[in-house]
Amino acid sequence: MKPTQEPRIDPSETFDVLVIGGGNAALCAAMTASEAGARVVLLEASPWEFRGGNSRHTRNLRYMHRSANGFLTGPYLEDEFFKDLLLVTKGNTNEDLARFTIRESAEVGDWMMAHGVRFQPSMRGTLHLSRTNAFFRGGGKALVNAYYATCERLGVKILYDAEVTDLDMSDGLFRSATVNHKGTVLQLRARCMIAASGGFQADLEWLKRSWGEAADNFIVRGSPYDKGVVLRVLREKGADTVGDPSQCHCVAIDARAPKYDGGIVTRLDCVPFGICVNKEAKRFYNEGEEFWPKRYAIWGRLVAQQQGQTAYSIIDAKSIDLFMPSVFPPIEAGSIKELAHKLGLDPDSLESTIQEYNAATTPGAFDSNALDGLATTGLEPIKSNWARPIDTAPFYGYPLRPGITFTYLSLKIDEQARMLMQDGKPSKNIFAAGELVSGNILGQGYMAGFGMTIGTVFGRIAGKESAKCLQKS
């Protein structure tokens, strides 16, 4: 429950470790540093109610393990893990650091359980992850709650509504952080600092630099507090970065989703089973190219390129039960024309697009669980799987918009989670973890459950190394 009083902070005090952020990576760092004997303060920009950043929206993590257990159905070893990573990143990774991360992830499950997290067997509808990914019972918010409870028990001082706005540092040496705590400006000093404040996906102005005005129509799937302030300040003060600053992980989601924090429920898995049109009621890409989880990220981009950053997925009664239910009901109509009307599309154009598509479908066996090869002929663009005619009323439409998960631009780090400066030297007392460093390993693409792995692995390393660094100084 919400703490009734704030921890007392003496502005003249110098903390051992100052952790910026309040998600998975920050919490793992704070717990580890505190267990190593450090006096830790953790600064979370959000109020208590929304604590936990994007981590509160997660459901699982992927870690290397030698054998099956109560919630993982089989072993998952380094080489297979790394191969999976190569596949999604198309080689855009740092092999040494990636393999290091994978090895360090071995059996993090036990550590997580010892710190309050509980796992359950893979959720229904996600069975393909049952061997590789461990699911949190109650999801990411339950995980975050458990970690906060552990932090409190360990005596970590936690400040909510505490946004770091500036840093006092020179030559890669951190001295103090300027914190806006509920409107009061604090200057907090510490011997070491751990940056774990996530990506900058919630800063639409920043995104506009790469995406132009289109970014105004983006939906941020996670926390509105991940605005990248710390990343920007550190970069200005000489930190080196890695990852394409213009790229983000962006998927097609329900256009009716809240602007921020809509989380997992706004995803739409219906696209492969119907057709997808833009505001002109024209198709623009092969909807049946691959299984949806392998393609939903390119669809974020595709939709972002359409007029008004909007598209519509259209299916018929045959397909309505084939995908995970979503949060907003489909727009339903008895005829294509009526559906077009309800979606705000030109009825004649939509009808002719569907007639053209239907005419190009071919007979054959449909199988939603396999690449069934049921493709259109002579249609541009082709639909190469699951191409059944859209002919059975009622017809359904879902509006789509791009939804941003995270950005790729990251701080460069080494295996000790030390932040690297532009001259290639590691900072003496600044460490970084989580989304803020994921670009070191995940240069492109995404692998389900790996964001939490990076946060857990480097959060723990940062916590441990910061405590070591105290002993040295």
Ligand X SMILES: Cc1cc2nc3c(=O)[nH]c(=O)nc-3n(C[C@H](O)[C@H](O)[C@H](O)COP(=O)(O)OP(=O)(O)OC[C@H]3O[C@@H](n4cnc5c(N)ncnc54)[C@H](O)[C@@H]3O)c2cc1C
Query: Residue 138, interface with other proteins (CB under 8 A)?
Result: yes
Q: Which residues form the interface with ligand X (CB under 6 A)?
A: 20-26, 43-46, 52-55, 57-61, 163-164, 196-198, 221-223, 225-227, 229-230, 263-264, 405, 434-436, 449-452, 455
How near is the Cβ of 35 to ligand X at its closest, in Å?
18
Q: Using CB distances below 5 to 8 A depending on partner kind, what does residue 43 bind out of other proteins, ligand X, none? A: ligand X
* Residue number with CB closer to ligand X (22 or 288): 22
Query: Residue 263, interface with other proteins (CB under 8 A)?
Result: yes
HEC-encoded secondary structure of the chain: CCCCCCCCCCCCCEEEEEEECCCHHHHHHHHHHHHCCCCEEEECCCCHHHCCHHHHHCCEEECCECCCCCCCCCCECHHHHHHHHHHHHCCCCCHHHHHHHHHHCCCHHHHHHHCCCCEECCCCCCHHHCCCEEEECCHHHHHHHHHHHHHHHHCCEEECCEEEEEEEEECCEEEEEEEEECCEEEEEEEEEEEECCCCCCCCHHHHHHHHHHHHHHCEECCCCCCCCHHHHHHHHCCECEECCCCCEEEEEEECCCCCCCCHHHHECCCHHHCEEECCCCCECCCCCCCCHHHHHHHHHHHHHCCHHHCEEEEEECCCCCCCCCCCCCCEEECCHHHHHHHHCCCHHHHHHHHHHHHHHCCCCCCCCCCCCCCCCCCCCCCCCCCCCCCCCCCEEEEEEEEEEEEECCEECECCCCEEEECCCCEEEEEEECHHHHHHHCCCCCCCCCHHHHHHHHHHHHHHHHHHHHHHHC
Site for other proteins in 308-327 (CB under 8 A): 321, 324-327
Q: Using CB distances below 5 to 8 A depending on partner kind, what does residue 381 bind out of other proteins, ligand X, none? A: none
How near is the Cβ of 68 to ligand X at its closest, in Å?
20
* Residue number with CB closer to other proteins (125 or 308): 125
Query: Residue 282, interface with other proteins (CB under 8 A)?
Result: no
Candidate list 106, 264, 360, 379; residue touching other proteins; CB under 8 A: 264
How near is the Cβ of 326 to ligand X at its closest, in Å?
13
Query: Residue 113, interface with other proteins (CB under 8 A)?
Result: no
* Residue number with CB closer to ligand X (234 or 281): 234
* Residue number with CB closer to ligand X (148 or 312): 148
Query: Residue 224, interface with other proteins (CB under 8 A)?
Result: no
Q: Using CB distances below 5 to 8 A depending on partner kind, what does residue 261 bind out of other proteins, ligand X, none? A: other proteins
Q: What is the binding site for other proteins (CB under 8 A)?
A: 1, 49-50, 56-57, 59, 118, 120-121, 123-125, 135-142, 145, 149, 258, 261, 263-265, 267, 321, 324-327, 329
